[in-house]
Structure 1
Amino acid sequence: MNLPDSFIRYTSRLMGDELYARFSDGLNEEAPVSIRINRLKSRGRSVAGTAVNVPWCGDGRYLPQRPDFTFDPLLHAGCYYVQEASSMFVHHVLRSLVSTPVLMLDMCAAPGGKSTAAASALPEGSILMSNEPVRARANILAENMMKWGSPDVIVTNNYPRDYVRSGLDFDVILCDVPCSGEGMFRKDEGAVEEWSPQNVDACSRLQREIVADAWQCLRPGGLLIYSTCTFNATENEENIRWIVDELGGMPVAVPVSEGWGICGSLLADFTAPVYRFIPGCTRGEGLFMAVLRKSPDAESPIILRKGKRYVQDKYDNGNKKRKDKAIAASLVSRDIEKIVSGWTSFVSGDEHIEPALRQSDVCVLALTPHLARLYDAASLSLRVLSAGVTLGNVKGHDIVPNHSLALSSVLCPDAFPVVPLTYTQAVAYLRRETVALPPDTPMGFVLVAWHDAVLGFVKNIGNRANNLYPQEWKIKSTHVPDREPWVLV
């Protein structure tokens, strides 16, 4: 690999000769292929072939080769997520350090790998707010979170400072900050071309700005998870040192196994526990992660509004006119409420929960009661792209089921007829082509599935079935697969 000379000089000094030699050899190896299984949808399926477990993530699997994921209907159904193995470490961190329900924010979440991992790792009853500042990337994030199907998630498109102004505060905040991308050199040639010492310094400054905003949103005693996909100490150890010295962060250790090959700090004068994934040492791409706790004695998050400093209740946000507008928007007609009754099945422990309904523009949302309260507060000051389960789109006194409902883990199994598809039909459906249904298929809205995994809705009107798969998600490739995918059985 043709690396920049300045990168080689700096990194070889940082790592030392022996570690750098292992790293250099690792960069010249083929990047491993890995996926993470969605336990909400796995239904007893196992990974086919000679898959090997990712040691720090019980749901992670290394695949022996890279299949054509585009043409696997189970990927589009959200049965698994294609994720680089090192990034799955956040699953282990959350499982190790969080044991009771929390409110968590993933501040820079696109495309959604760490957010879907967090949704699977958090204790039942937790809520995840998954945010991405860049609109195009936020739409991809919303798509991937919808496919994952977890009901206690809100996706937003905001800058970190918007969260500070919102007054919302969190038990756990993940800052997977934009970085110089050194850890992606093996997979992304563009990252090599864009690298420069100047970019490293610019990234370090931006990372501190993001963390400073995130820290204001963190509750006393809360956890900040900081991560990058880069190797240099400027964006890693030095930023952790800054969080400790300037913000009062207290480093937190995470239990790891020696057999995982994870390295600690590369600075002799740095003692805080950090976790470095380096190609050649670990089977994955480059990753740095550290966890810091905010002092339990720290002040509650305080924001500035109209020149006055005050603590803002997260459920009492905004002025009266904005509140009245939100309340009006939340009203759902009795006709619609009657139609959607029985479409979802929310369960907490052994108890069934009646969801709260909200109308957002022409969409009706189903939210657990605790998510509904947070949604009401967040929607006043943040750009919410999705929340809970979008049941459907209102058409007069009727409602058209939304794709979010089809992919949700709380979809009631007997809410709609289900038609199994052949593999060829499933790919045609994902291309948004017409799919022929059996002649005895009931009229109206019907779910289509492949290997018991729901792909989405069609509307059977008798002489044909209208394909309701989202236009922007459809497979655009005209390639015809010569065989069925083998990732999951």
Structure 2
Amino acid sequence: MEKPSNLLLKLSRRLFTNIDEREKFIQALINPQLFTSSIVWCQEKPEISPFAVENPINWQPQFIDRLQLGEKPGQHSLHEKGYFYCLDFSSVFAASTLLTIPQPVGLIFDMCAAPGGKSIFACKALQPNLLISNEVIGKRLGMLISNLKRCDISPNAVVNRDSSIFAEMIPASSNLVIVDAPCTGQSLLAKGEKAPGCFHPTVINKSANRQKRIIANSAKLVAPQGYLAYMTCTYSPEENEQVCDWLLERFPHFQPMEINHLAKYQSHLTTMPCYRMFPQDRLGAGAFTVLFKNTNENGNEEINLDTIGSLYIYQNIKKIN
């Protein structure tokens, strides 16, 4: 049996005081197991599902199916036709905070969008007037555009710029900004994938500093009474609760929202309403999620599409009136 590294042991002690939970967490990472996959239905769900599905969890939206082990939705003909998008159930957990946002929603801005799962989930859940999906890493753009195009996500535009550009160009413009932050990806280990250096303090701190810069720029985009969703697929408090604490110190007008359907997943590392899924729960490899609201009342700026129109790499905005 593989032995856990000293860095993993140190993290487990920080995350869990209960020795049994600590051991379950460690075993989930060094002896990875298969997790069920899930799909987002982008077109009308067939009356008879082409897949064997698990019973839905009480907070699971109707446009999501959690499939039984062994199902391979990516190989089905409906996948290529854009009927659904394959999404890890940990991502469904993280994005489920968006289900509490009241409609209608004008503009959704997905800051770190590739490969597109959170953009597609947000579009299905909230039916925005416009979804802008940004991806700063050029080599990931092809996958993002391909997925949005295949699933016919509209109205949508794809852009490729650093978060600071949008903070300057379109401040206080977005009803929802999603930050599915780049992170150390520690949960990849629970799926049997590699995440080199993911427990090393230098790697974690570098990742946390990048996350702080992105979330600060993203906060500037949020319109008064709008929302900022922050999520990761990693376990380190430096990349999760501590990033949230940092944000609230600098943007005190943001308020973390209680998500009632995730109450049992409340992070035990803080009293702030934020939520964690761990791999030993056997629903997914792991995620952290929190939803902030901009409590400011005034200053909402209607976005001028021409302002960023020159930045569009791909657009499918046929539904805009």
Letter in 2 for 1:13: R
Task: Indicate the residue corresponding to 2:160 in structure 1.
Answer: 157
Shift of 1:11: 2.3
Shift of 1:271: 1.5
Shift of 1:160: 0.6
C-alpha spacing 1:144/1:3, structure 2 compared with 1 (3 Å): farther
Which of residues 134, 138, 141 in structure 1 aligns to 2:141? 138
Q: Give the secondary-structure state (helix, strand or coil) at the position aligned to 2:97.
A: helix
Conservation of the 8 A alpha-carbon contact between 1:91 and 1:121: no
Letter in 2 for 1:251: P
Task: Indicate the residue corresponding to 1:95 in structure 2.
Answer: 99
Distance 2:109 2:238 in 1: 25
Deviations 1:184-234 (A, max 9, x none): 212253215554211100010000000111111111221111111111111
Which of residues 252, 257, 261 in structure 1 aligns to 2:257? 252
C-alpha spacing 1:147/1:215, structure 2 compared with 1 (3 Å): same
Shift of 1:44: 3.0
| Alignment pair present for 1:206 and 2:210 | yes
Letter in 2 for 1:20: R
Conservation of the 8 A alpha-carbon contact between 1:128 and 1:154: yes
C-alpha spacing 1:141/1:234, structure 2 compared with 1 (3 Å): same
- State how 1:305-316 maps to structure 2 within 5 Å: 314-315=303-304
Distance 1:199 1:280 in 2: 24
Task: Indicate the residue corresponding to 1:129 in structure 2.
Answer: 132
Conservation of the 8 A alpha-carbon contact between 1:35 and 1:82: yes
| Alignment pair present for 1:61 and 2:62 | no
Distance 1:206 1:182 in 2: 16
Distance 1:287 1:255 in 2: 17
C-alpha spacing 1:90/1:147, structure 2 compared with 1 (3 Å): farther
Deviations 1:75-128 (A, max 9, x none): 111212211102112453222222222311110011111111111100x45321
Task: Indicate the residue corresponding to 1:189 in structure 2.
Answer: 193
TM-score by length of 2: 0.88
Task: Indicate the residue corresponding to 1:355 in structure 2.
Answer: none
Q: Give the secondary-structure state (helix, strand or coil) at the position aligned to 1:89.
A: helix
Task: Indicate the residue corresponding to 2:79 in structure 1.
Answer: 75
Task: Indicate the residue corresponding to 1:10 in structure 2.
Answer: 11
Distance 2:49 2:248 in 1: 43
Conservation of the 8 A alpha-carbon contact between 1:378 and 1:384: no
Letter in 2 for 1:113: G
Distance 2:157 2:280 in 1: 37
C-alpha spacing 1:74/1:93, structure 2 compared with 1 (3 Å): same
Whose helix fraction is larger, Structure 1's or Structure 2's? 2
Deviations 1:24-83 (A, max 9, x none): 343435221212231524343414335443543233333333445553221111212211
| Alignment pair present for 1:108 and 2:80 | no
Distance 1:32 1:15 in 2: 22
Task: Indicate the residue corresponding to 1:265 in structure 2.
Answer: 267
- State how 1:457-476 maps to structure 2 within 5 Å: none
Conservation of the 8 A alpha-carbon contact between 2:106 and 2:130: yes
Task: Indicate the residue corresponding to 1:35 in structure 2.
Answer: 38
Conservation of the 8 A alpha-carbon contact between 1:11 and 1:232: no
Shift of 1:2: 5.1
Conservation of the 8 A alpha-carbon contact between 2:130 and 2:155: yes
Task: Indicate the residue corresponding to 2:274 in structure 1.
Answer: 274
Task: Indicate the residue corresponding to 1:22 in structure 2.
Answer: 24
Shift of 1:297: 4.2
Distance 1:35 1:73 in 2: 16
Conservation of the 8 A alpha-carbon contact between 2:208 and 2:239: yes
Whose strand fraction is larger, Structure 1's or Structure 2's? 1
- State how 1:90-489 maps to structure 2 within 5 Å: 90-122=94-126, 124-167=127-170, 169-248=173-252, 249-256=254-261, 262-267=264-269, 270-297=270-297, 314-315=303-304, 374=305, 376-380=306-310, 382-388=311-317
Deviations 1:313-343 (A, max 9, x none): 632xxxxxxxxxxxxxxxxxxxxxxxxxxxx
Shift of 1:292: 1.1
C-alpha spacing 1:44/1:26, structure 2 compared with 1 (3 Å): same
Runs of 5+ consecutive residues of structure 1 not aligned to the other structure: 302-312, 316-373, 390-409, 411-489
Conservation of the 8 A alpha-carbon contact between 1:156 and 1:386: no
Task: Indicate the residue corresponding to 1:425 in structure 2.
Answer: none
Letter in 1 for 2:89: A
Distance 1:131 1:55 in 2: 31
C-alpha spacing 1:142/1:55, structure 2 compared with 1 (3 Å): farther
Distance 1:108 1:39 in 2: 21
C-alpha spacing 1:194/1:89, structure 2 compared with 1 (3 Å): closer
Runs of 5+ consecutive residues of structure 2 not aligned to the other structure: none
Conservation of the 8 A alpha-carbon contact between 2:225 and 2:293: yes
C-alpha spacing 1:153/1:7, structure 2 compared with 1 (3 Å): same
Conservation of the 8 A alpha-carbon contact between 2:32 and 2:192: no
Letter in 1 for 2:307: A
Conservation of the 8 A alpha-carbon contact between 1:54 and 1:60: no
Distance 1:291 1:255 in 2: 12
> In terms of mean alpha carbon deviation, does 14-23 or 175-184 score higher?
14-23
Shift of 1:276: 0.2
C-alpha spacing 1:35/1:144, structure 2 compared with 1 (3 Å): same
TM-score by length of 1: 0.59
Q: Percent identity?
A: 24
